[in-house]
């Protein structure tokens, strides 16, 4: 049995395939970002998924692509956790950017972007990934991500910059007590996922002028820092992956047009495309 997984900070999609390359089952666990989750919690989130533990001795290979797996230390943490559970498996852990590339570009050059709980981008030349800057995560970077928009909504609410009607709707949907917010930001795991939970508010009110302005500004920052520096021009296919890109595609395309760029495609979750890539190239 072979496991293929695409893991974000919020959730991780798993597909198991048998020796005949047929899908056996698929499951979803909580996110497995080793940058913001302890080793114990990483392990708990896997062992609590019955379907995975049921076949743990049958698994011979694991291809895991995840948020927070872009540095050697974090990658080693998750690899050790997986190897401790799936003791008969050869484990490969890589960053989610590689999964995004495999899912949309295959073996062809493209600029590939992730806009989900976090954000990132790269230029793929058909063989290798090229990045203009390392991702330093939700505190410093992650432009136009779910946690980026969550921070801006909270700041706007507390600084009383949010229109009154929107503010009333915002406070009716979330616990905005300062102690509760600070506890989730500074004492709990997954502060990036907690921030991203506020971005769900924008899905419901995305036609509101004020919300649209916040989204548009975030996308403009992402293009400025994460796409334009590649200088690849109109001839390079441009792909986006993630819920933020998927649900706000119309605004994303509007911003792209201002930079004379055209978006080739937007995919919410890459797991199905990733499966097909593996069937053809790896498994």
Is residue 188 exposed (0-12), middle (13-18) or buried (19+ Cβ within 10 Å)? exposed
CA distances from 69 to 34, 56, 161 (A): 7, 22, 36
pLDDT digits (tens, 9 = 90+) for 166-213: 999 999 999 999 999 999 999 988 899 999 999 989 988 989 999 999
- pLDDT value of residue 278: 84
Model pTM score? 0.85
Of 193, 198, 191, 200, nearest to 243 by C-alpha is 200
pLDDT the model gives residue 210: 95
pLDDT attached to residue 279: 82
**Residue 195 to residue 136: CA distance in whole angstroms:** 16
Q: Which residue has the higher pLDDT, 216 or 8?
A: 216
Tens of pLDDT along 211-259? Answer: 999 999 999 999 999 999 998 766 799 999 999 999 999 999 999 999 9
Most confidently modeled range among 4-13, 225-234, 257-266: 257-266
What is the mean predicted confidence (pLDDT) over 252-272?
Answer: 93
**Choice between 9 and 142, residue whose per-residue pLDDT is larger:** 142
Rounded to 5 degrees, φ, ψ at 32 are -130, 55
Q: Examine the pLDDT at 14 and tell me if it is beyond 70.
A: yes
Please check the confidence at residue 108 and state whether its pLDDT lies above 80: yes
Residue 282's pLDDT is what?
A: 66
Question: Shortest CA distance to 263 belongs to which of 223, 221, 215?
Answer: 223
Most confident range (mean pLDDT) of 8-12, 59-63, 66-70 is: 59-63
Q: Among 14-23, 47-56, 112-121, which is the least confidently predicted range? A: 14-23
Q: Return the pLDDT at 28.
A: 93
The token pair at 39 is: 């080793």
Q: Rounded distance, CA 93 to CA 221, Å?
A: 30
pLDDT class for 9, splitting at 50, 70, 90? Answer: confident
* Predicted local distance difference test score (pLDDT) of residue 20: 83
Fold that domain 2-100+271-281 belongs to in CATH: Nucleotidyltransferase; domain 5 (3.30.420)
Find the helix or strand (DSSP H, E) in which 120 lies.
Answer: strand 119-124
**Which residue reads 């520096």 in tokens?**
229
pLDDT > 90: percent of the chain = 71
State pLDDT tens for residues 63-72: 999 988 888 9
Does residue 11 or residue 77 have the better pLDDT?
77
Residue 283, pLDDT above cutoff 70: no
Bridge partners of residue 130, in order along the sequence: 123
Q: Of 229, 232, 234, nearest to 257 (Cα)?
A: 234
pLDDT tens-place string over residues 72-102: 999 999 999 999 999 999 999 999 889 899 9
Share of the chain above pLDDT 70, in %: 99
CB neighbours of 114 closer than 8 A, spacing ≥ 6? 96, 97, 100, 120, 121, 240, 241, 242
Per-residue pLDDT tens for 23-46? 899 999 998 999 888 999 999 999
| Residue 134: pLDDT over 60 | yes
């Amino acid at each position: 049995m072979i496991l293929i997984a695409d893991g974000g900070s919020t959730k991780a999609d798993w597909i198991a395939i048998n020796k005949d390359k047929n899908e056996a089952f698929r499951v979803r666990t909580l996110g497995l970002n080793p940058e913001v989750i302890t080793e114990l919690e990483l392990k708990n989130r896997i062992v609590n998924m019955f379907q995975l533990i049921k076949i743990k001795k049958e698994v011979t290979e694991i291809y895991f692509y995840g948020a927070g797996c872009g540095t050697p230390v974090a990658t080693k943490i998750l690899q050790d956790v997986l190897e401790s559970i799936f003791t008969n498996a050869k484990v490969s852990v890589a960053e989610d950017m590689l999964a995004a590339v495999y899912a949309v570009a295959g073996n062809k050059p493209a600029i590939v972007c992730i806009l989900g709980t976090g954000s990132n981008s790269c230029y793929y030349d058909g063989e290798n990934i090229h990045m203009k800057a390392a991702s330093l995560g939700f505190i410093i970077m992650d432009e136009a991500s779910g946690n980026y928009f969550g921070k801006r909504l909270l700041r706007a609410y507390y600084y009383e910059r949010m229109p009154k009607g929107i503010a009333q709707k915002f406070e009716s949907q979330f616990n905005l007590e300062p102690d509760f917010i600070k506890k989730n930001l500074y004492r709990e795991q997954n502060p990036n996922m907690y921030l991203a939970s506020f971005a769900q508010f924008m899905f419901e009110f995305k036609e509101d002028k004020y919300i649209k302005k916040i989204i548009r500004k975030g996308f403009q920052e992402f293009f400025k820092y994460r796409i334009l520096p590649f200088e690849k021009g109109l001839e390079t296919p441009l792909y986006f992956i993630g819920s933020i890109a998927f649900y706000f595609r119309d605004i994303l395309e509007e911003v792209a047009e201002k930079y004379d760029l055209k978006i080739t495609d937007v995919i919410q979750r890459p797991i199905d495309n990733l499966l097909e890539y593996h069937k053809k190239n790896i498994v």
